[in-house]
Amino acid sequence: MKSFTLFTALCLCVQVTCAVEPVTAVVSDELLAKMTQASETDFSACFSAGVNQLLNTPDDAVRKQSIAKLAALLTKKETTLYGKYALLRMLTPYADQLDAEVVATCLADPMTRAQAMRILDAKGDKRGALTSLAPLPENASVKAYRAIQKDPKCFSTTIVAPDKKVREVAISCAESLQTSDLLEAYQKVSDRAAKVLILTALSTRKDKQCIPLFKQEAANTDEVFASVGLSGLISLATIEDIPFLLAALERSPDIALTARNVLISIADPKTEAMLLSAKMKRETQLDIIGDRDTPQAFDLLLPYTRKTEASEIRAAAWRNLRKVVTEAQVPALIAQLQEADDGDINPAEQTLLSAVKDMDPFKRDALVLATWQKASNKVTRGVMFSMMQRFKNPSFEPEFLKLIASENDLAQEALRTLCSYKPPSKTTLLALLAYTQDEKQQQTIAARLFLANSADTFALLQSVFDSPQSAVAKKLYLHLFDKQFEGLKIPPKSKKEKGVPKAVLDTIQKTATEIK
């Protein structure tokens, strides 16, 4: 026994001594190959794989080898731009291990420039200058980047350089420059393309220092400068600027659109009054007021839905009311239906739907029913009828039945709506069966019931077999059995679709046989 225990222990020792520790490899050749050929669709996969391999490398020396192998791909001509972008993204946390000259080769292309700059910035001082680095061989793009970071006044000469790549580097540096530096450069340069680039960079800043320049260029006869100048005034313009903004609405479509966006952004509550008093198309005024969506917008727009207004003005008012109406304004909106034009039932309904979209369904349907029962004019009745058709609350069924019995202009629509309930009440079903006058009409009602209720239609009809409408119910049961039963037996095409259980099919067939 002792000898067996000793032998076992010796075996374990041999296993431990001879065990081979896993060898951690540098970044895989497969990933290197994929990175070189990466397309737009491969970017995410390559980036994730690279990050995982670097993070899961426990040995610092091996990780450094991996980083060196990955960085070397940045200088290879065959490496795609998407591959270089993925490489720069994954190597950014290891900026201190990267050769600035290698990273600088990616400054020339817009896709990789920003990420390359982040790495270069991380290697420089807090302003992103590269002056702390040892002298490097410089291509034109690297030289331009260094010069601007060292002295912002170099921007005005770099932005007009003959080399397109140098100009691209310059404008990408604009974000790190002070507004005053860019304004100074704008005054210095005369090249049109350079001025447009600088003005565009300034227009994104929302800096009040730029307002005089933006106003100046907004009046420029050159539409490119005018459009960019106007865009710079978004969130900066005041009501004093409204007159020239209204004038800009009469210019080209691009300029008009930008001017409109500026008007929408003005925070002063007096803007609406100035717009409505201006000599311009009323529809345009209402569209801007709707887009501004201020607390007073609803009250300003509502009067323009009156039947006394021109059709195009009413259409604009309804259209913009949908943007601003809230649940609290539902009573005022319903009251306004009394003054609406008979042709505005559809836009009025769409506006009311916008108002009640967040309302409690029970509260909403009770309001619709009460309004319908009190309605005396065509628009209110038309809107409420459409709302009842849409929401199909059981409390609406008696109203639809009254319409069917009255044979008025809404009778057929009411009939179609009742057939679409899932399911209609027993009272409604009996009324529908009693309404049928001939075989064609009976089959139409049966088809509509089946369209809404499918296999449940058979149980629905069977529930009234003991009623005065038993004969019609059984007749329709057999009609649907002949027309639809085989289709119910077809298995569903996907797991999401629910087929009819065999027990239900058996019951339907058995009942049909009994009726026959």
Give per-residue pLDDT as tens, 104-142. Answer: 888 878 788 878 888 887 776 433 434 433 344 457 888
Q: For 431-464, how does the pLDDT look when each residue is reduced to its tens digit (9 = 90+)?
A: 999 887 788 889 999 999 999 999 999 999 999 9
Whole-angstrom CA distances from 35 to 65, 71, 85, 343 are 16, 11, 10, 63
- Rounded Cα distance, 160 and 136, in Å: 24
Question: d(Cα 67, Cα 91) in Å, to the nearest integer?
Answer: 7
H-helix or E-strand spanning residue 381: helix 378-391
Q: Residue 86, Cα to own-chain centre: how many angstroms? A: 27
Q: Tokens standing for 126? A: 């807090």
- Tens digits of residue pLDDT in 326-337: 999 999 999 999
Quick: pLDDT tens for 409-439: 899 999 999 999 999 999 999 999 988 778 8
What would the mean pLDDT of 140-151 be, rounded to a whole number?
A: 84
57 contacts 49 by C-beta, under 8 angstroms: no
Say which residues have a Cβ less than 8 Å from residue 303's Cβ, sequence separation at least 6.
317
Asked, as a colleague might, if the bond just before 394 is cis with ω within 30 of 0, I would say no
On the question of a cis peptide bond just before residue 423, with omega within 30 degrees of 0, the verdict is: yes
3-state secondary structure of 217: helix
> Considering the entire predicted model, what is its pTM?
0.69
Residue 150 has φ and ψ, to the nearest 5°, of -80, -40
Q: Is the distance from CB of 260 to CB of 227 less than 8 angstroms?
A: no
Within the chain, what is the greatest distance between any pair of CA atoms?
A: 113
- Provide the CB-side half-sphere exposure for 232 (13 A, CA): 28
To the nearest 10°, report the CA torsion of 101, 102, 107, 113.
Answer: -130
Percent of the chain with pLDDT over 70: 92
Other Cβ atoms less than 10 A from the Cβ of 295: the count is 9
Residue 18 has what pLDDT? 38
Dihedral of alpha carbons 265, 270, 276, 279, sign: negative
Q: For residues 54 and 44, what is the distance between their CA atoms, to the nearest angstrom?
A: 16
Distance between CA atoms of residues 132 and 124, nearest Å: 6
For 187-219, how does the pLDDT look when each residue is reduced to its tens digit (9 = 90+)?
999 999 999 999 999 999 999 999 999 999 999
Mean pLDDT of the chain: 88
Q: Say if residue 258's pLDDT is above 80.
A: yes
Q: Give residue limits of the domains in the chain.
A: 408-516
- Can you tell me which residue has the tokens 């002298």? 135
Q: What pLDDT, on a 0 to 100 scale, did the predictor assign at position 136?
A: 41
Alpha helices by DSSP H, 23-80: 29-36, 43-55, 60-72
Q: What is the pLDDT of residues 46-88, one digit of tens each?
A: 878 877 878 787 788 888 888 888 889 888 888 998 888 888 8
| Phi, psi (rounded to 5 degrees) for 512 | -60, -40
Q: What are the angstrom distances between the C-alpha of 11 and each of 3, 38, 162, 300?
A: 12, 50, 77, 93
* DSSP summary character for residue 98: S
Helices (H), 106-158: 110-123, 140-150, 155-158
Residue 39 and residue 45: Cα distance in Å, rounded?
Answer: 10
- The pLDDT > 90 percentage for the chain reads 61
- pLDDT value, residue 424: 95
3-state SS, residue 281: coil
> Is pLDDT of 309 > 60?
yes
